[in-house]
């Protein structure tokens, strides 16, 4: 089985700190800094903690698919879905930042057919997604962020 990202609390605390710095740099520069990871582009996904009610932001790799934005709930191949994924299931209507532009979106999990079409494109964009999928028994969800009306 392939290797997932480490499961230790220490690793995830450091990972969250790096994510926080990434969000700050992204916002300060409109995505010029913190807006790419290799060739993959990054967006900022807003979500609300389903238990805490706290507003949160997650920097995520994304693929543009027509008017939709596609993100992957990989959590580095860890055995559980990331919190942002569970939060979106609870409250699918949210906002993303792409560069300096904020967009209202509605999140939904890709159907099996959509995932089959999008997965190779996502792996071509970021090959580690395939490693992460091999590292876990769960099917890593692909999430489609569709444009939504403001409000």
Neighbours of 127 (CB within 10 A): 11
User: pLDDT at position 2, please?
Assistant: 59
Whole-angstrom Cα Rg for the chain:
15
Burial label, 84 (beta-carbon count in 10 A; 0-12, 13-18, 19+): buried
Domain map (residue ranges) of the chain: 9-147
29-39 residues labelled b (16+ CB within 10 A) or e (exposed)? eebeebbeeee
Q: Which residues sit opposite 109 in a β-bridge? A: 143
Res. 15: pLDDT tops 70: no
Q: Which long-range contacts (CB under 8 A, 24 or more apart) does 37-41 make?
A: 37/61, 37/126, 38/126, 39/125, 40/125, 40/126, 41/98
User: pLDDT at position 70, please?
Assistant: 98
Cα–Cα distance measured from residue 122 to residue 57, given in angstroms and rounded to the nearest whole number: 21
Decide if 37 contacts 126 (C-beta within 8 A): yes
pLDDT in tens, 33-92: 888 888 899 999 999 999 999 999 999 999 999 999 999 999 888 888 999 999 999 999
Decide if 5 contacts 78 (C-beta within 8 A): yes
Topology annotation, domain 9-147:
Pnp Oxidase; Chain A (2.30.110)
């Amino acid at each position: 089985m392939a290797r997932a990202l480490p499961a230790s609390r220490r690793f995830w605390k450091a990972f969250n700190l790096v994510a926080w710095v990434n969000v700050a740099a992204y916002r300060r520069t409109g995505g010029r800094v913190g807006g790419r990871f290799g060739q993959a582009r990054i967006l900022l996904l807003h979500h609300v903690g389903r238990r805490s009610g706290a507003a949160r932001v997650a920097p995520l790799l994304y693929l543009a698919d027509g008017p939709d934005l596609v993100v992957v709930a990989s959590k580095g191949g860890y055995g559980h879905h990331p919190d942002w994924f569970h939060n979106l299931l609870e409250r699918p209507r949210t906002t993303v930042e792409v560069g300096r532009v904020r967009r209202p979106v509605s999140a939904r999990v890709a159907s099996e057919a959509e995932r089959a079409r999008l997965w190779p494109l996502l792996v071509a964009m970021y090959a580690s997604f395939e490693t992460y999928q091999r590292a876990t028994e769960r099917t890593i969800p692909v999430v489609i962020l569709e444009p939504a009306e403001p409000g």
